[in-house]
C-alpha cells in the first residue's frame, strides 16, 4: 500500500496542465497520468468495499489505460488524435442515447441548439479522423483499435515491451474479465463442503487482494514511466520503474503460490 502512495506522490510532483505542454508526447502523457491518478485513487478506495469483487472491477480500467498509454506513445500525434476521436465517439453515443430516452430534459440549462451544435461538431471530428489512414496505411472503420490489436502493434514496434504488454492483457485484463461483468450469470462463486457438495457463498474473488493491488500499482507505475520519459524526467522515470519492479515481483510470487496450490 505504501508503494501506491509513493506513486501518487510521484505523479503530483510532475503533474501540470496538459494544455500547457509543448509536444504531443507531453500532452497525451499528461492526460493519461491525470486519468491514471483518478483510477488508482478509485482502486484504493475499492479496497474498503464490503464486496470482494470491488477491487477486481476497479483494476481493469488501469490495465486498459496502461496499454493505451503505451500505444499512443508509439506515434503521439496520430494515435493521440485517434484516441481523442474515440472519446468524442463515446460522447456521441451517450448524448444520442440520453436524447432518445430522456429528450431535451437531459439538462435544462443547455439549449437544444447548443446540444445539436455539439453533436454536429463531434460528428465532424470523428468522421475526419476515421478518414485518415493509420500507421499501416489503411483506413479503419473505428478511430481506435481494440486492446488486442494495440498489444500486437506495441510488441511489433518495441519487442522489449512485448512481455509486459501480454502479461497486462492476457494475464490480467482477460483473466479478470469474467469477474468484472455485471451480469448475474458471471458470478458462480461457491465452496465445496466437507460432504462433497457445494453451496453458494456469494461473490467471492478468486484472487488475493495483494495480487490485485500489485496489478493496479504496476499499471499506474507504467503510465508514470511513459509520462516521465515524454517530459525528460528520467529520475522520476527510474523511480517509477523501480516501484513497478516491486509490484511485479509481488505478482510473480503470488503466481508461484497459485501454481504450487494446484499441484
Tell me the pLDDT tens digit for each residue of 184-203: 444 455 555 667 666 666 66
Q: Is the pLDDT of residue 95 over 50?
A: yes
Place of cell 518495441: 158
Distance CA 51, CA 120 (A): 42
pTM of the predicted protein model = 0.77
- At residue 194, the 3 state secondary structure works out as coil
Q: Taking each helix axis from N to C terminus, what angle separates 209-231 and 234-262, rounded to the nearest 10 degrees?
A: 160
Task: Indicate the pLDDT class of residue 111, thresholds 50, 70 and 90.
Answer: confident
Amino acid at each position: 500500500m505504501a508503494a501506491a502512495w509513493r506513486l501518487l506522490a510521484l505523479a503530483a510532483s510532475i503533474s501540470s496542465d496538459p494544455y500547457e505542454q509543448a509536444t504531443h508526447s507531453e500532452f497525451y502523457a499528461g492526460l493519461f497520468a491525470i486519468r491514471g491518478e483518478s483510477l488508482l485513487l478509485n482502486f484504493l478506495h475499492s479496497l474498503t468495499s464490503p464486496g470482494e469483487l470491488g477491487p477486481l472491477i476497479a483494476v481493469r480500467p488501469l490495465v486498459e489505460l496502461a496499454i493505451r498509454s503505451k500505444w499512443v506513445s508509439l506515434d503521439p500525434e496520430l494515435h493521440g488524435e485517434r484516441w481523442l476521436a474515440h472519446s468524442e465517439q463515446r460522447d456521441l453515443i451517450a448524448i444520442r442515447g440520453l436524447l432518445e430516452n430522456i429528450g431535451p430534459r437531459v439538462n435544462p440549462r443547455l439549449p437544444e441548439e447548443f446540444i445539436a451544435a455539439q453533436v454536429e461538431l463531434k460528428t465532424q471530428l470523428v468522421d475526419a479522423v476515421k478518414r485518415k489512414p493509420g500507421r499501416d496505411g489503411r483506413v479503419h472503420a473505428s478511430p481506435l483499435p481494440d486492446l488486442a490489436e494495440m498489444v500486437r502493434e506495441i510488441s511489433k514496434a518495441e519487442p522489449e515491451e512485448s512481455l509486459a504488454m501480454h502479461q497486462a492483457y492476457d494475464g490480467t485484463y482477460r483473466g479478470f474479465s469474467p469477474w468484472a461483468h455485471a451480469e448475474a450469470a458471471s458470478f458462480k462463486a461457491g465452496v465445496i463442503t466437507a460432504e462433497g457438495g457445494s453451496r453458494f457463498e456469494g461473490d467471492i474473488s478468486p484472487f488475493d487482494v495483494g495480487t490485485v493491488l500489485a496489478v493496479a500499482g504496476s499499471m499506474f507505475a507504467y503510465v508514470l514511466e511513459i509520462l516521465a520519459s515524454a517530459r525528460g524526467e528520467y529520475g522520476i522515470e527510474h523511480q517509477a520503474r523501480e516501484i513497478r519492479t516491486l509490484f511485479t515481483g509481488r505478482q510473480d510470487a503470488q503466481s508461484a503460490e497459485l501454481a504450487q496450490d494446484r499441484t
